[in-house]
Amino acid sequence: LLRADPCLFCVSAWNDNGKPEIASDSKAIFRTDFFPGLGWMLLRSFWLELRTRWPTEYWDDFVRRGDVRQGRQCLRPEVSRTYTFGEVGVSKGQFFNTHLRKMALNKELVDWQRLDLSFVASAARFDDFLAEEIHRAEAVTLEALAPRLAAAEAAAAAVFVVAYKDAAWGRYAKYFGLMEDMKDGVRRGAYRGVLPITWKKHRLFLVRDWPLSAPGK
């Protein structure tokens, strides 16, 4: 996938929002506009773009810059395949106690070659996939989510969409235990403002505008 799609610049083993409460689907994989930064693979061609500018510290934030990413994305899992085990490093332990030490590590063997990953093979295919999933989902507000989930407990896994506004993101992040910060206008794990998580065993999409605001929708 990485070699075939020029709109991808990395494949990552890490989900910045990979706490077990919000990341439990070991087979889930997504495209993201955010560079995850912990356990990642790139092509030589991308490294050649960056090597003369590579910083001595906070290189992950460097790669997240718009002039570096240039509209390209990464692939990331929902459940991380790597982890960080200490506070010492070039990022000086940033977010370690509040988020990073709590991340889930995958324990399920997944044969990716046997899975149909065509939905993430290009940005256009992922747009179609994500838009279809979101438009089929049940729209609920943050306030109505808890009682709706309680009603769905005995039923099969449902899919929900919760719309948010940028100005209120902190409230949504605190509710779900997400990392609140943005880097160069992009939230961790998000794609076009959409952040998929698994909440109480249900797929949930946090949506800023697209695709709910798409013409004709």
Q: Looking at the annotation, which residues are catalytic? A: 60
Q: Which two tokens stand for residue 212?
A: 């709910």
Alpha-carbon distance of 106 to 81, in angstroms, equals 5
Look at residues 190, 182, 191 and name the one whose alpha carbon lies nearest to residue 61.
182
Alpha-carbon distance of 193 to 129, in angstroms, equals 15
> Cα 39 to chain center, whole Å?
14
Interior/surface letters 102-121, b for 16+ CB within 10 angstroms, e for the rest:
ebbebeeeeeeeeeeeebbb
Look at residues 37, 114, 119 and name the one whose alpha carbon lies nearest to residue 76.
37
Alpha helices in 51-189 (DSSP H): 59-63, 66-69, 123-136, 142-152, 169-176
Look at residues 81, 80, 75 and name the one whose alpha carbon lies nearest to residue 32.
75
Q: Which two tokens stand for residue 33?
A: 């506009």
